[in-house]
Each structure stands twice: as C-alpha cells, then as structure tokens.
Structure 1
Amino acid sequence: MSLASCDMAELTKRLRLEPVGPDNADDLWLVHGDDEVWPWYGGTMPSREQVERWAKSMGESWRSHGVGKWIAYDRVSGEVVGRGGLGRTPLDDDWGRVYRFLPAEPWVDVAHEVPHPSVVHANWLELGWALRHQYWGRGYATEIGRAGLAYAFDVLGMRAVVSCTDRRNVRSHAVMERIGLRYAGELWSEEFEGRDGDPPMTVCVLLRREWERSSPTRAR
C-alpha cells in the first residue's frame, strides 16, 4: 500500500499529515524555528536556508525511499501543529550505530533497493516528532507517534522501529513509553556528547512481532 492509497484519517483523527517537500519549508520553519524546539536539535537555531534544505531532502526521501517526514496540521483550524514521521538510516554512515540496539539478525543490515541519494537500511526505520510549544501537553505527539508506527508496520511492513531522544527530554521519553517503544540503551558518541558528559541519547525500540501482539499501541 502506498501513501496515496493509505487513508491517513485511519492513523490520526485530529491531524492531517502531509509529506514534507520543498513547498512545506515555511511550515517546517514554524516548527524548527520555535524557541522551545530548536534547542533539542543541535543547540543552535537553524537558518531559514537550512530548513529549506531539510524540506528538500525530506521530499527526496519520499520520492526515492517511499517514506519520510510529515507536517501535521490541525484538521479543523489548519494550523501547523508539528512535524513527525519516519526516516531511513544510511547503511554506510549510521550516525550512532543504532543497529546495535536491534536483534542480531540478517534483516538488520539489508540495504534498500534504491541506492540514491544514499544507501539506506531497508527493514527498519527511525521515528520522531517535534511540536510547536503551544501544542504541548495535548496528546498530539502521542497521536503522531502512533500514526508513524502504524504506517511503518501496517503499511510498509517494517521489521522494527527505533526512536532516539536526549536523555533529559522527559516529554519524549513519556511519549515513547506510551506508544509501546521499549528502552534499549543509551547512545554514546563523541559527536553527541552531552553537556555534562552524560550519554546524550536514549534509544527505544519496537519490533514488529511486539507491535502485532500489543493492540494498545495501535492508533485509535
């Protein structure tokens, strides 16, 4: 099933999810330019030009690899609520060796059939979300996260989903737990070393077999 044939209303009731492309750069900026959001993504506010490059790259991901990020709009008001969705990790440049947190099984290292713009993992995806601060505390991140899981497992047939967040980001930790992801370990890398020398990233994982037997994590 493709995105076009998937009824997104079945994945999220309050939000309209639109695949990000160059035309969504202004809306993506509303999310990543938010003063409560950007500090969690590298510690410096991105420029408009950088966000435009992200939007272009996200659009290419949809075209080449069949999956990517969404902009989430309120179905009633049309306002931009946030950004969420899925991404494929480069096979030859796994930024934190996230595959170490997955089972030692052959499917983990299989490459996607389309080798451009980069060679990426085929059978598992990374899930994430970011909400404009005025929409925090309303359950939207949980809704976006569940939609991402449903799309990954029920539409794309993935074997696993991973999600990473700064270990101090208690809101994201709570969302991960709420939607069924389970703690798998902490990611230590000099590139992502925390401000106090702490391992900066917590990794959570959900396997397809766990998704299939755990109906509470499905979108409702």
Structure 2
Amino acid sequence: MTQTTQLSTDRLLLRPWRDSDLAPWAAMNADPEVREHLGEVMTREQSEASVRKFQEEFAARGYGWWAVEVRDSGRFIGFAGLDDTDEEMSFTGVEIGWRLTRSAWGHGFATEAALACLDFGFDRLGLDEILATTIERNVRSQAVMRRIGMTYDPADDFVDPTAPEGPLQAGVLYRIRRDAARSRPPHA
C-alpha cells in the first residue's frame, strides 16, 4: 500500500506519522509513568527507530500504528492502531493497542481511538477477531478494553516471553469478535 489510511472520530485524527511527531513521541517514551507497564524508558534514537518501523509495517500491510492528534488543536497525543501479535507469543492474530501522553489520560481519547481501530479492523480488513494484551496490573488499559466491548477469560492469561523477567511478564488477553462488535453502538 502506498498511502496510509487516516481515521477520523469526533475529536481525533488517526493519521500517518510526521517529522513533527518525533519530539513529542520521544518525550512520551522517556516518561516513566507512560512506560510504567511497558518496560524501560526509551531513548530518542529508539523512539525514532520505532516510528520508522511503524511506517514500514503500515506501508507493507496496510495497517499498523497511527499517530493520534486532537482535531481541534492539532496536538499530537500518542498512537493507536492494529498490529500482528509477536511471533513469540502463544497465540496469534491481530491486536489493538494505544499509548497516550499523560496529559491525554482521563479524557476518553484511548476509547475513542480504539473504537475507530476496531471499526477499521472489522470493516476494512475483514477481521473476525481482534485481540488486546496488557499486563495484569495495568487496570487502566483493561478498563478501556472492557469499554470497547472486549471480554476477558482468565484461561487466556499468559507469560510474555518478550518482556523482562518479573511483573511485566504476567499478561492478560482480551478478545472481541466481529459479531460482538456489531452489537455495540457506533462510536461516531
């Protein structure tokens, strides 16, 4: 795919990455509170490399991680999107995710962006199921997963082999099937 799709909600624009996103993205990834459930903070070089990888994967697959901005102000607030599960995991599929700067927490932006990503995954990609993962103690992300209609089964709990040894390895898996997504009210 040569052009990255944009998604628009009432308040957000999920769009291709821009050079102007690099500084706020790097600052976000250097924030220990943002990285609390993800591992070590990232250097600017690591953040820039992650954006290049996001762009390459999106170009190759037609989906991935969008930069998220607030439509009214144009302010970059993080990312949201869909990604293939890591090969090392004990399950396969496409998972949804998000990461927002602290100033964007508590405003419903993660839920709004996630609903747009679900619609894209089911309507445009034709997926039958979308997954979401996080660690056990990340209750904020689990709340978003429940708000967007995902369900949790303790039998799906897993140990993340890609995470450093310790509490970041204890993972939970949420799921939503296309038919369940159709039964929820539209986000827009």
**TM band (smaller chain):** 0.7 to 0.9
Corresponding residue number in structure 1 for 2:133: 164
Task: Provide the residue aligned with 1:136 in structure 2.
Answer: 105
2:68 aligned to 68, 72, 83, which one?
72
- The 5 Å alignment of 1:109-128 reads 124-128=93-97
* Of 89, 96, 102, the match for 1:96: 89
Q: Distance in 2 between matches of 1:157 and 1:19?
A: 21
1:127, CA displacement in angstroms?
0.5
Cα root mean square deviation, aligned: 2.4
Q: How far did residue 215 of structure 1 move?
A: 2.5
In 1, Cα distance between equivalents of 2:3 and 2:57? 13
Cα deviation for residue 88 of structure 1 reads 1.9
Shift in alpha-carbon separation, 1:20–1:86, aligned structure 2, 3 A: farther
Alpha-carbon deviations, 1:174-212, whole Å to 9, x = none? Answer: 00000011113211245537635x861110011122222
Identity %: 30
1:9-24 aligned at under 5 Å gives the runs 9=8, 12-20=9-17, 24=21
Q: Could you give the per-residue CA deviations for residues 26-57 of structure 1, whole angstroms, max 9, x where no partner exists?
A: 34223322331122222x11111111111011
Deviation, structure 1 residue 22: 6.3
Q: For residue 219 of structure 1, what is the aligned residue in structure 2?
A: 187
Is 2:27 aligned against 1:30? yes
Aligned counterpart for 2:177 among listed residues 195, 203, 207: 207
Change (3 A) 1:21 1:207: farther
How many residues end up aligned between the 2 structures? 185
Deviations 1:47-104 (A, max 9, x none): 11111111011001111011010111111111112211111235xxx222223xxxxx
The alpha-carbon deviation at position 163 of structure 1 amounts to 0.5
Match of 1:113 in 2: none
Query: What are the superposed Cα offsets for residues 136-168 of structure 1, whole Å, 9 maximum, x if unpaired?
Result: 111111111111101101121112110001110
Q: Residue 77 of structure 2 aligns to a residue in which SS? A: strand
Instruction: Label 1:153 to 1:165 Cα distance change in 2 as closer, same or farther (>3 A).
Output: same
Q: Which residue of 2 aligns with 1:181?
A: 150
Question: Structure 1 63/199 Cα, relative in aligned 2: closer, same or farther at 3 Å?
Answer: closer
Instruction: Select 1:155's aligned residue among 116, 120, 124.
Output: 124
Once residues 64 and 7 of structure 1 are traced to their aligned partners in structure 2, the CA distance between those partners, rounded to angstroms, is 16
| Amino acid paired to 1:85 | G
Q: Is the 8 A contact 1:28 1:71 kept in 2?
A: no
| Structure showing greater Rg | 1
Name structure 1 gaps, 5 residues minimum: 100-123
Structure 1's 133 and 144: CA in aligned 2 closer, same or farther, altered over 3 A? same
TM-score normalised by L of structure 1: 0.75
Secondary structure class of the residue paired with 1:127: strand
Secondary structure at 1:98's aligned position in 2? coil
Which amino acid in structure 2 is aligned with residue 14 of structure 1?
R
For residues 7 and 41 of structure 1, what CA distance do their matches in structure 2 show?
26
Name 1:103's counterpart in structure 2.
none
Aligned partners of 1:128, 1:69: CA distance in 2, in Å? 8
